[in-house]
Structure formats: structure tokens, C-alpha cells
Structure 1
Amino acid sequence: MKKLLIVSFGIIGFILLLSPWILILFGRNQLHDHDIPKQEQLVENDQKQRILVIFPHPDDEVTVAGTLMKLKEEGHEIQMVCLTRGEKGKSSGIEDEAQLAYLRTKEMQKAAELIGADALHLKNYPDNGLEKIGLDSLKEIVGKLIDDIKPDVLISYDSRVGLYGHPDHRLTGLAVEEVFLEKRGNLGFEPKEMYQVTLCKKQVKLALKLSTGFQRNYPEDPAMGLPKPDFSIGTREYFPRTLEVMKAHQTQQAVLKDLMPLHDRVPGWIYSRVFDREYFREVK
């Protein structure tokens, strides 16, 4: 009987020991399309590259924070552009737009510092109002930024959806993409590569179940959805710092929980092994 109890407790202990790893494997299977190649680097490390990241809002950089930290650690230069101050992002309950813009500016500065950005270029175009500026004017704005900063590599949103359907996201991605495709190879235009943050099909499927932003804005027609990723970048070791970047955006915590659901309830060592990569499409 005693031996049976020892064996039983041993089996229970073994199951308990295995259960987190079963959870990790299950989570990975739910979140990742394993036919999409995973690579260690976004750009080659044979020489230093200047990376320019262009997003419309404070907190958009969270989607690529791990990759940016990795690039910085590999010796590349990180330049970040935020086109608006995020004054319309009132999920925190702050109604005064001037106050919210001030707070989100400070949050963006803290996030850029945590990432290790070499420079942060904060603009003041209208949040949720880039459509009013118009695509042609937005392309002029983006083109001037690229001419001034002279990056080797561009990163932004996709031009079809803008991750989950926000018009500022889509227009920013479209403006950067069109400028890149129209000017690539021209004398004086420095960028040689452009990458767009995207999601795999399994992530989109899960987001449509859990995220109110996706449910509200994502296209119903699958053919109009996010572009398929060309590859993912492994970012597990940067996950704790990515959480710090998320925490820096205190006014947007309700929104960011949509991006990484239950991140504040699941132990980090488990969560980081599930959310262990960021997906990209290369613009060619």
C-alpha cells in the first residue's frame, strides 16, 4: 500500500511538472502557424543598419518591441517616428485631449527609452484624423522624414488592414509602402528594405474571439485581411522588457490587454514561451 501511494504521488508530481509545458505546447499550437519560417535576424549583421520605425500612435511600437530591442543589441541604430500624440485614445477615461496628449507623449518617451531607441521623432498630426490629411499629403510627410533621417530599413504597419482595422494604422502603412515602392532605387533614397508587422492566421482567429478592437474593425472578407507573414523573429528573451514597454503606456492598459490577453495573470516564463515571436511581411 505504501509503495502504491509513493508511485501515485510520483505520477501526480510528474503530471504537475509536465502541465506547464503542456500548456506552452498547446498555446503555441493555438497561436502560431508552423509553416511560417522563424528566423533569428530581421537584417544582416555584417554592417550597422539604420532602422526607421513609423507608426501613428504611442503604444503601436509594442507590436515590434522585441524585434527592435534585438536589433539594437545587435548593433543597429533605431530611429522611431510617432505621427500623433494619441489624444483620441480615451480608454483610460481621460476626456481632456490636451492632458491625454501630454501623458501619452511622456509614455512614448519612456517606451522609446526602454527599447533603447537612438532617437524618437514625435509629431503632432491629428489622432484618428490622418484620413483628413489625405494620402498624398501623408506621403509627403513620410517622404520628408525618410529624406531627413536616411534609414537603410523601414518598418511600419501593413497597407491593407493596419493590423486590426484602425484607419490611422492602414493609412500610415500605405503611405510608407507607396513611398518606398515609388522611390526605391532612386538617387538619394536610402532605404533598401521594408518590413510590415502582421499576424499569422491562427493569431487573427484568436484575436477575433478575444479582442474587441479586432471584432469591431477587422474585415469580414478573409481576402481583405492581413497579408500572410513571410517569416517571424524569435523574441522570447526580450519578453520581460516588452512587458515593461507595455506598462509604460499606463493610459492604454485596457487596449493593450487586447494585444496580449491574460499577460498579467499567466507566469512570465510560460507566457514568453507562447508569445515568443513577432511576424513580418517583406515589401518587395
Structure 2
Amino acid sequence: MKKLLIVSLGIIGFILLLSPWILILFGKNQLHDHDIPQQEQLVEGQPKHRVLVVFPHPDDEVTVAGTLMKLKGQGHEIQMVCLTRGEKGNSSGIADEVQLARLRTDEMEKAASLIGADQLHMKDYPDSGLEEVGLDSLKKTVSELIEEIRPDVLISYDSKVGLYGHPDHRLTGQAVEEVFLENKGKEGFTPDEMYQVTLCKKQVKLALKLSSGFQKNYPEDPNLGLPEPDFSVRTREFFPRTLDVMQAHATQQAVLRDLMPFHENVPIWIYSRIFDREYFRQVK
């Protein structure tokens, strides 16, 4: 009887020990397309590059925070641009847009510091108003930023959807992409690589079940959806710091829970092994 009890306890202990790894394998299978190549870094380690990251809102950088921290750790220079101050993002119930813009600017500065950005450039375009500003004006701003900063690499949203359908996202991605494609290889134009953050099909499918932003804005026609990733970058070791970047955006916690659901309820060592990569499309 005693021997049977020891064996039973051993089996129970083994199951308990194994269960987190089963959860990790299940989560990875639900979240990732294993046919998409993984790579250790976004760009070559040598020579050191100057990377210009262009997003419309404070908190958009969370989608590539792990990759940016990895680039910084490899010695590359990170220049970040935020086109608006996020005054329309009142998910926290702050109705005063002036106050909210001030708070979100402070949050963006803290997030950039956590990432290790060499410089943050805050612009004053109207939040949720880039359609009224117009593509030509955005392209002019992007061109001026490139001329001023002289980056080697560009990172932004895609030009088809803007990750989940926000017009500001899509127009930002479109402006950066068009400037890059229209000028690549010309004398004096420094960027020779551009990458767009995207998601694999499994992530889109899951997001459409869990994220109100995706449910509201993502195109119903699959042909109009996100561009297929060319590869993913391994970012597991930076996941705890990515959570710190998320927490820096205190006014946007309700929105960011859509990006990484249940992260507050699952141990980091498990969650980081599921959310262990970021997906990109290279613009050619």
C-alpha cells in the first residue's frame, strides 16, 4: 500500500511538472506558424546601424519592443518617432484631451527610455486625424525625418491594414513605405532596408476572437488582411522588459490587454515562452 502511494504521488508530481510545458506547447501551436522562418536578429550585427522607428501613437512601439531592445543590445542606434500624442485614446476615462496628451507624452518618454532609445522625436499631428492631414503631408514629414536623422533601417506598420485596421496606423505605414520605395538607391537617401511589423495567420485568428480592436476594424475579406510575415525575430529574453514598457503606458492598460491577453494571470516564465517572437515583413 505504501509503495502504491509513493508511485501515485510520483505520477501526480510528474504530471504537475509536465503540465506547464504542455501549456507552452499548446500556446505556441495556437499562436505561431512554424513554417515562418525564425532568426536571431533583425539586421546584421556589423556594421552598426541607425534604426528609425515611425509609429503614430504612444504605445504602438510595444509591438516591436523586444526587437528594439535586442537591436540596442547589439550596439545599433535606435531613433523613435511618435507622430501624435495620443489625445484620443481615452480608454482610461480621461476626457480632457490636453491632460491626456501630456500624460501619454510622459508615458512614451518612459517607454522609450526603457527600450533604450537614443532619441525620441514627438510630433504634434492630431490623433485619429491623419486621414485629414493627408498622405502627402505625412510623406513630407517622413522625408524630412530621414534627411535629418539619416537612418540605415526603417521600421513601421504595414500599408495594407496598419496591424488591426486603425487608419492612423495604415497611413503611417503607407507614408514610410512609399517614401522608401520611391527613393531607395537614390543619392543622399540613406535607408537601404525597411521592415513592417505584422502577424501570422494564427495570431490574426486568435486576435479576432479576443481583441475588440481587431473585431471592430480588421477587414472581413481575407485578401485585404495583413501581409504575410517573411520571418520572426526571437525575443523571449526581453519579454519581462517588454511588460515594463507596457506598464509604462498606464492610461492604456485596457487596450494593451488586447495585445497580450491574460499576461497578468500567467507566470512570466510560461508566457514568455509562448509570446517568444515578433513577426516582420521586409519591404523590397
Bin for the TM-score computed over the shorter chain? over 0.9
Task: Name stretches of at least 5 consecutive residues in structure 2 with no aligned partner.
Answer: none
User: Cα RMSD between the aligned structures?
Assistant: 0.4
Within 5 Å, which residues of 2 pair with 1:197-212?
Answer: 197-212=197-212
Structure 1 segments, 4+ long, off by >3 Å, are: none
The C-alpha deviation readout for 1:19-69, integer Å capped at 9, x for no partner, is 000000000000000000000010001211000000000000000000000
CA distance in 2: counterparts of 1:94 and 1:282, whole angstroms? 38
Q: Structure 1: how far apart are the matches of 2:138 and 2:13?
A: 59
Report SS of the residue matched to 2:117. Answer: coil
Q: Equivalent residue of 1:91, what SS? A: coil
Amino acid at match of 2:163: L
1:29-178 equivalences under 5 Å are 29-178=29-178
Question: Aligned residue for 1:267?
Answer: 267
Counterparts of 1:171-250 in structure 2 under 5 Å? 171-250=171-250
In the alignment, structure 1 segments of 5+ residues that lack a partner are: none
How far, CA to CA, are the matches of 1:271 and 1:41 in structure 2?
21
In percent, how many aligned pairs have the same letter? 80
Q: Deviations over 1:117-138 (max 9, x none)?
A: 0000000100000000111111
Is the partner of 1:45 in helix, strand or coil?
Answer: coil
Provide the TM-score with structure 1 as the length reference.
1.00
Q: Tell me the alpha carbon deviations over residues 126-154 of structure 1, each in whole angstroms, 9 at most, x when there is no partner.
A: 00000001111111111111111100000
2:262 aligns to what SS in structure 1?
Answer: coil
Deviation of the 1:2 alpha carbon: 1.0
In 2, the alpha carbon distance for the partners of 1:264 and 1:53 equals 28
